[in-house]
Structure 1
Amino acid sequence: MTDSAMLAPEHDDAPPIWTTHYNHPTQWDQFFAPMSMPDMFFRSAGRKGEAPLIDFMGRKYSYAETASGVCRVAKGLQDMGLGKGDRIGLFLPNVPHYVAAYYGAMAAGCTVVNFSPLYTVDELTHQVEDSGTQVLFTLSAAALLPTALEVLEKSSLERLIVGSVAGALPGGKSLFYRLFKGKETVKKPDDERITSFSTLIDNDGAFHRASIRPDQDIALLQYTGGTTGTPKGAMLTHQNLTANARQVNRIDPDHDAEDRILGVLPFFHVFANTCVLNRTVLNGGEMVILPRFDAVQALKAIDRTKVTALPGVPTMYQALLDNPRIEQTNFSPLRACISGGAPLPAEVKKKFEAKTGAKVVEGYGLTESSGVVSANPYEGLNKSGTIGQPVPGTLVRLVDKEDPNKEVPKGEPGEIIFSGPQVMKGYWNRPDADEEVFINGYLRTGDVGQIDEDGYIRIVDRIKDMIAVGGFKVFPSEVEKVLYQHDAVKEALVIGVADEYRGESPKAFVTLEEGKTEVAGDAIMQWLNPQLGKHERVVDVVTRDELPKTLIGKLDRKALRAEEADAV
């Protein structure tokens, strides 16, 4: 897809509401000139020089130092015979190696493929084969290297490049890691197919600048469950990624101010990839990165580094609220918290803002959108329960769920479709899936939404999550919204379960607030059902110690449905 996808279909004559009611501090109608990822990175590196780009557990890496690493990764890959279009996998947590490998592979002309560090051997093997990944970056960590070694043996993967976490840490911490964390590392085998990261970058960095067509060449293959089921590789071009980074940057009214962001969301996920990594590099800011989310470590990092931005998923904000250390943490430098990945419960937003004094801004996006489609304004009208207005250059429409060629009446709910420069090129080797997801130059999301009089979008639910109760459709999120109003409920998920008479019935699952764990599910159900329509009433409320979550920590309705199906 290109910027031409922004054009509205011929039958849509009404001007978008955002032409007159746009609350972001920029114009809605914008064009983003083609830009490659290496150009974006090296422009910022040239501009910022010795300014810090990365803070990793206290060790600082400047833009110049990181650029040197990027150049040497690019040169090392080219010396291996790799270049334009070759797929380079990153099986890494948030570590400095990721940043160098990500931009270095792209600078060499290669396509990056992100893999979650939590993947099993079978999951990683499948996606390596599907993507045609030739080289895989990983670490000598017990949680990563054994899996990567198995995949090397049982797949068409040609080579591993293995880095060391200890080498990226400050001196004292590096020694501590070697002395006390040895059991968490694995020795690199003596195998000609395995190269150490230090050997790869032992060169002068004089790589050959690949000729990149930003609108056409694929910078990143990002796997997703997508809107049509099975994991697929979303082909994100250089322009998709750089445009989305620019879109996100332009809705920040203070992007010229001090910019220090906490990078605890995993870079392998598109949310962090755009909002933490690419946006910060574009803006010349600093990333305070942690290998994984831990509430105590995150709060310590916030205190130590005085971050100005904190992107997270709702469960992360809840975990920070639950940690006693929050009382001693200084949040005064924090300008904005960006919540995405899942709907943000109003109570969590309210409590976090009250505790920290920071504003929590909710946004929305998809892997297929390179990250971000819309967001609430950082300043001004911030509507709780909505995903705000589209980022610049993004056109959103609502269409009939059964006939996506038909636009729904104004004010009515419909499937969200959108176009813009951030929309993926398509799915990797899946033209069948492309036919299902693209409609008249727009991308179908599978989400049901409404647009209000101010142009703010509210997600009603996902089409496939709707529960069919007799002849009625029940949106789980509407029932969950009521559940969150109960003072004992911390987290809630509602799914449909088989019902001989009605086809399906809603069933609720909750975790409870500390000090409220004696509250029974029956009592919550008796409180809940009178507030719901007859077709929405749940058949049970189950209290649990925890609810299933995805790799980035958002509540996982799909996994819960699978658990329930297995229990039957």
Structure 2
Amino acid sequence: MSQAPRPIWQERFPQACDWDAAVETGTVSDLLVPAVAARPDAVAIAFRESGLSYGELDRLATRLAAGLIADGVRPGDRVALFLPNTPWHPVAFFAVARCGATVVHLSALDALRELEHKLVATQPVCLITTNLPGFLPQVQALRAAGFVDRVLVGDDARWGPGEAEPQDLPPGGGFVWLDDLMTAPDPANWPVLSPEDVMLLQFTGGTTGAPKAAMLTHGNLVSAVNIYRLWTDGEPLEAGAQTAIAVLPLFHIYALTTILLRHLRDGNRILLRQRFDVEILIEDIAVRRATMFSGVPTMWFALLNRKGVETVDFSSLRSCVSGGAPLPFEVQTRLEGILGVRLNNGWGMTETAPAGSRLPRQAKPRPGVIGVPLPGLEMKIVSLDAGRADCPPDEIGEIAIRGPNVFKGYWNEAEATRDAFHEGWFLTGDLGRMDADGLFQIVDRRKNMIISSGFNVYPVAIENAIYEHPAVQEVLVIGIDDDYRGQAAKAFVVLKAGMPAFTLDELLHFLKDRLGRHEMPRALEFRDSLPRSAAGKLLAKVLIAEEQEKRAKPASPESAA
């Protein structure tokens, strides 16, 4: 019996990794074991002026896990984490894992209404937060309204001087200091964990409607970590010898897996930062000699626009990644010239934890290209009809993916889970194509596609063309109602500092050799900023909602005159 032919990308890019290596799986609790055994005194988390060693991180997570079990947390229970970037996050995350319970990640940027939705959807037995401004007051309001019964509070002062004022817990019961829980003895028997257990309920961005909670198992997360570790394209990075900057929010899947879990597994040092500050970023690289930095486009824009950035010593950097949202090709090229290293990019989703694809060094970067599947994964393009037939190279369809990191389904959303899969493949909702070298290219989100005069129009293609305009810093394109065409493209533009605005006609003249007539935007609006998610992703849905609201409002007598 003959073997199936190797995928195109394995033939074209054999140097990217050992394509035949097995992807290790396991439980999240086990991720700490190698580093704790090998280097217990090495710094795992550097935060403010203190350092938390691997041995101490392991001890605190064990103590909190024992406290949670003594407090009534049982395997399968949900525990919500409402935390910023603080050492309490990894301590709590690993503690919940050891209990056999499931973490529910709440975004520190969520409005109360969004937090209420997520708590109602997941019904956690308790919520872990900290006494930093903006956190405890929010949780008090949630508890007063009956959305959570028990609140466990980590004292920010444990990690050195910060923004929290010394305070007592709110009166009336229901609030407990984490430090008080951590005095409990070990349970008689620790819960037995399985890679198939749901470790994390991670809410998707909610492109349409309310966000859904993706069920990610222990095995999904551990597989994703090891999938990233198998990608060895370029200079080898010695485990235990790297310093990674963690300023992306740990409550988002991108930072959780690619920074926190991956670097703890490798025994590296993590510089944990509570918020992004371009001057601190530069200090972390030039002075503290960070070797790895993963950011979102807003951070890269800030670095690029920082006065005197050309004189900064970036020589310690070995690996830089831009993710969470597309980075304009022209911006990436300029950054690489300043950093002295290639800015890696790829693609992934909450539902893939978020391992998906990476661009091999041998491949020539170009707008929209996301590379090839990471080791252990399979990707293909399928047709948009019900049959979901495989598409030939260069034909646009929907990207489908399968692998050990792909989520189990959506929490309490049986219909949405069924619709998300076809014959074992996860249908991502991203439109794309694969070329003859096996390189995948994102065209757009399926839900973002504009149908104008019967033509399929992809906002990303228009955005890429507008980004070539020398005055444009950022752009988002959406579809708006058009009485003649059905839909038309509207561009929302943020100008570079000091650059003058331009008219729609001037923009169309600039685009005439870059876009087809059916792709031309029919409306233009300038903004000081564009809406973003917690991960820094531009949110077209906010602009779409605004446009729909405007159209739904009856015209005023003045505007009708």
Q: Normalising TM by the smaller chain, what interval?
A: over 0.9
What is the one-letter code of the residue matched to 1:83? R
Change (3 A) 1:280 1:532: same
Residue 314 of structure 1, CA deviation: 1.6
Cα displacement string for residues 464-508 of structure 1 (whole angstroms, at most 9, x for unaligned residues): 111110110111111111111111111011111111011011111
Q: 2:504 touches 2:523 (CA, 8 Å); kept in 1?
A: yes
Q: 2:24 touches 2:226 (CA, 8 Å); kept in 1?
A: no
Partners of 1:69 and 1:384 in 2: how far apart? 46
- 2:71 maps to which residue? 80
Are 2:444 and 1:461 equivalent residues in the alignment? Answer: yes
Question: Which of residues 485, 494, 500 in structure 1 aligns to 2:483?
Answer: 500
Moved more, 522-531 or 541-550: 522-531
1:293-442 equivalences under 5 Å are 293-324=276-307, 326-377=309-360, 379-385=361-367, 386-442=369-425
Matched position secondary structure for 2:294: strand
Matched position secondary structure for 2:370: coil
Give the TM-score taking structure 1 as reference length.
0.91
Are 2:61 and 1:66 equivalent residues in the alignment? Answer: no
- 1:28 maps to which residue? 19
Cα displacement string for residues 299-356 of structure 1 (whole angstroms, at most 9, x for unaligned residues): 2333332111111112221122122263453211111111111122101101111122
Change (3 A) 1:14 1:518: same
1:548-567 equivalences under 5 Å are 548-567=531-550
What is the one-letter code of the residue matched to 1:526? H
- 1:272 maps to which residue? 255
Moved more, 436-445 or 41-50: 41-50
- 1:147 maps to which residue? 138
Question: Which of residues 90, 100, 123 in structure 1 aligns to 2:91?
Answer: 100
- 2:264 maps to which residue? 281
Partners of 1:404 and 1:53 in 2: how far apart? 49
Are 2:110 and 1:130 equivalent residues in the alignment? Answer: no
Are 2:138 and 1:157 equivalent residues in the alignment? Answer: no
Cα displacement string for residues 422-453 of structure 1 (whole angstroms, at most 9, x for unaligned residues): 01111111111111001000100010111122
Question: Which of residues 174, 183, 192 in structure 2 aligns to 1:211?
Answer: 192
Q: 1:134 touches 1:156 (CA, 8 Å); kept in 2?
A: no
1:542-553 equivalences under 5 Å are 542-553=525-536
Partners of 2:364 and 2:267 in 1: how far apart? 27
Moved more, 496-505 or 532-541: 532-541
Question: Which of residues 174, 177, 183 in structure 2 aligns to 1:202?
Answer: 183
Give the TM-score taking structure 2 as reference length.
0.92
Residue 227 of structure 1, CA deviation: 7.2
Partners of 1:388 and 1:23 in 2: how far apart? 14
Partners of 1:422 and 1:226 in 2: how far apart? 21
Question: Which of residues 170, 183, 188 in structure 2 aligns to 1:189?
Answer: 170
Change (3 A) 1:24 1:544: farther
Q: 1:121 touches 1:148 (CA, 8 Å); kept in 2?
A: no
- 2:554 maps to which residue? none
Partners of 1:210 and 1:226 in 2: how far apart? 34
Cα displacement string for residues 41-67 of structure 1 (whole angstroms, at most 9, x for unaligned residues): 223222221111101123211101111
Q: 1:491 touches 1:512 (CA, 8 Å); kept in 2?
A: yes
Partners of 1:553 and 1:121 in 2: how far apart? 20
Moved more, 29-38 or 484-493: 29-38
1:237-252 equivalences under 5 Å are 237-252=217-232
Partners of 1:64 and 1:494 in 2: how far apart? 49
Partners of 2:312 and 2:57 in 1: how far apart? 30
Matched position secondary structure for 2:321: strand
- 1:451 maps to which residue? 434
Percent identical across equivalent pairs?
35
Question: Which of residues 216, 222, 225 in structure 1 aligns to 2:202?
Answer: 222
What is the one-letter code of the residue matched to 1:399? V
- 1:121 maps to which residue? 112
Partners of 2:490 and 2:8 in 1: how far apart? 38
Moved more, 419-428 or 289-298: 289-298
Q: 1:18 touches 1:28 (CA, 8 Å); kept in 2?
A: no
Q: 1:71 touches 1:207 (CA, 8 Å); kept in 2?
A: no
Cα displacement string for residues 47-101 of structure 1 (whole angstroms, at most 9, x for unaligned residues): 2211111011232111011111111111110111212111111100110000100
Give structure 2 stretches of 5+ with no counterpart: 552-561
Are 2:236 and 1:254 equivalent residues in the alignment? Answer: yes
Q: 1:85 touches 1:110 (CA, 8 Å); kept in 2?
A: yes
Q: 1:72 touches 1:207 (CA, 8 Å); kept in 2?
A: no
Partners of 2:365 and 2:79 in 1: how far apart? 41
Residue 16 of structure 1, CA deviation: 1.8
What is the one-letter code of the residue matched to 1:437? A
Q: 2:67 touches 2:185 (CA, 8 Å); kept in 1?
A: no
Q: 2:449 touches 2:456 (CA, 8 Å); kept in 1?
A: yes
Give structure 1 stretches of 5+ with no counterpart: 1-11
Cα RMSD of the aligned pairs, angstroms, is 2.1
Q: 1:72 touches 1:206 (CA, 8 Å); kept in 2?
A: no
Partners of 2:512 and 2:403 in 1: how far apart? 42
Q: 1:404 touches 1:439 (CA, 8 Å); kept in 2?
A: no
Matched position secondary structure for 1:307: coil
Partners of 1:406 and 1:444 in 2: how far apart? 12
Moved more, 322-331 or 437-446: 322-331
1:40-51 equivalences under 5 Å are 40-51=31-42
Moved more, 186-195 or 126-135: 186-195
Change (3 A) 1:323 1:48: same
Q: 1:506 touches 1:539 (CA, 8 Å); kept in 2?
A: yes
Moved more, 435-444 or 352-361: 352-361
Residue 260 of structure 1, CA deviation: 1.1
- 1:232 maps to which residue? 212
